[in-house]
Structure 1
Amino acid sequence: MARRPQLTGRAAVLAIVVCAIAMSLAYPVREYVAQRRYIAQLEQQRAKELAEIKEQEDRYRQHFDPGYIKRQGRERLFYCDPGRKCYVVMRERQGQNKGTVAAEKKAVTPPWYQTLWESVEAADAGTGAKVAGTGG
């Protein structure tokens, strides 16, 4: 009795057809997965942007609330309601005593506008006096 070969022609053709189908589906499936991932990223970004828009709208609405406006005036600008006495408590920095704070204030150079004005006065007087805060 003659032995038949293990791989027949029909089996070879079937294997080639299955491989061709698998190869032709691999790229579209990969693209589908990549597009789904991209869509998920866009949805996440959209949700984040919507949350930020809502937060900005809430902040915008706050600016029309009279209570919020008064509170901001008291906290940030130290405004006081008519008829009330308001106090601002200044605290010293921790770890420093009054002597070092005073010495630190003396070592600070004057603001630019003071230096500018002193130089204008010196030029007007014609003295050419040395201006505080300049190196020369």
Structure 2
Amino acid sequence: MGSERFSTAARLKAIGQEAHARVYRAAAARRPARRNKLTGRAALLALVLCALVIALAYPMRQYIAQRSDIADQRREAQQAKQKVEELREQKARWQDPEYVRTQARKQLHYVMPGEDGYSVANPTPTAGTSGTRHKSAGSPGDGGGQAAAAAHRPWYANLWDGVDHADAAAPPRR
């Protein structure tokens, strides 16, 4: 008896396991089967999209480059318009006789009849005419110092010195 009971218990356990397996198989059959994520249609769609991207890349690059060129041309045209306006304003100023007189006085040093014109040469001392420069130009005996000293004397003194040197260097007349 004991062996029958054991065999019945084992049979019941086996039947329970079979039932359990059938239930899970039935549930799995009701669920849709898992497919591969990349189907033939998806692969074709991806291929078409890649082809479109490749086909449109060059024309898009050309389009962007042309838009950039157009923007550059517009900027240059705007600059040219501004230059034309400046030149028109300048032309209008030159049409005014008073402006012409002012420019002639300023740039060409013209004076009106009855006026005295004065020109001041080098009104402000520059770095080249400072006292330290002509001292370092040379000693008085080597000629370099004489030229620097002559640059700081009045013009008439240099003129008379030139006449004296020319007279002394001239050969005697016969």
Aligned residues: 106
Q: Provide structure 1 residue ranges, at least 5 long, that are not aligned to the other structure.
A: 107-136
Higher relative contact order (CA 8 A, sep 6+): 1
TM-score, reference length from structure 2: 0.50
Aligned to 1:99: 149
Whether 1:35 aligns to 2:35 is: no
Distance 2:80 2:117 in 1: 42
3-state secondary structure, aligned to 1:13: helix
3-state secondary structure, aligned to 1:40: helix
1:26-75 Cα deviation digits (max 9, x unpaired): 22221111111010111111111222222222222222111111101211
Whether 1:76 aligns to 2:126 is: no
1:82-133 Cα deviation digits (max 9, x unpaired): 3334433333743257834168x87xxxxxxxxxxxxxxxxxxxxxxxxxxx
Q: Give the fraction of aligned pairs with identical amino acids, expressed as a percent.
A: 35
3-state secondary structure, aligned to 2:95: coil
Distance 1:65 1:8 in 2: 85
Larger deviation, residues 9-18 vs 93-102: 93-102
Computed over aligned residues only, the root mean square deviation of the Cα atoms, in angstroms, reads 2.9
Give 1 or 2: higher helix fraction: 2
Distance 1:6 1:92 in 2: 89
26, 34, 56: which is aligned to 1:25? Answer: 56
Higher CA-based Rg: 2
